[in-house]
Amino acid sequence: MATPYELLLGMSLLREKKRIQYREENTDSEGNSFLQVDIAGHDVLVRQNDIEEIIPATLITQVPDTQNWFKGLTSYRGNLLPLIDLAALLLEEENDSHKSSEVRILVIQTLDSFLGLYVQKVEGIQHHWLHKSKIQHNDDKEASGILDYCDQYRKQNNEKVFVLVIDKIKQHRNFIDV
């Protein structure tokens, strides 16, 4: 037979367990570390876990007769690294920012190799709590091409900063051509 103290302790533990379960089921945010990058003037967050390394955009060898979003090749750890301009791929925009000293390459892992994603600027690493709510495509008409590759957002200075999902970029219709 349980003592009154044991019964109260058991009730307290059940109440705490139920409170934790409720909080997990009803939370509308998620915390992660992100890189904030600039893609053709749009601030976008990329999960830090999706990025292998960040390298400067130097010594890029252009490949003739390729798509405008294919920047060329560079050497990465003794291997050729194909470079994709995210602004040209996602927004279908030409930009001349490739001459800027702030341009960086985000190296990501594919199934059997690495791929470089060309961004205009890396603004920093941040830890954010994000809204899990669905993104509406009317949220930002200028960035509508990017929204197809995002799943969450964060409000920052009264503006929404969207989270780019690298796996969605890997499924892009032109991605297989790389």
SS3 category, 174: coil
Output the pLDDT for position 137: 45
Output the pLDDT for position 96: 59
pTM above threshold 0.75: no
What is the rounded CA–CA span in Å between residue 49 and residue 88? 24
What per-residue string of b and e applies to 15-36 under the rule 16 or more CB within 10 Å gives b?
A: eeeeeeeeeeeeeeeeeeebbb
Q: Are 87 and 120 in contact (CB under 8 A)?
A: yes
Closest alpha carbon to 161 in 45, 46, 47, 51: 45
Q: How would residue 15 be classed by pLDDT, with cut points 50, 70 and 90? A: confident
- The pLDDT tens digits for 49-99 are 888 889 888 888 889 988 888 889 998 888 899 998 988 888 876 665 556
- The pLDDT tens digits for 123-132 are 888 776 665 5
SS3 category, 127: strand
Lowest model confidence (mean pLDDT) among 79-88, 100-109, 136-145: 136-145
Burial of 42 (0-12, 13-18, 19+ CB in 10 A): buried
Indicate the CATH number for domain 30-177: 2.40.50.180
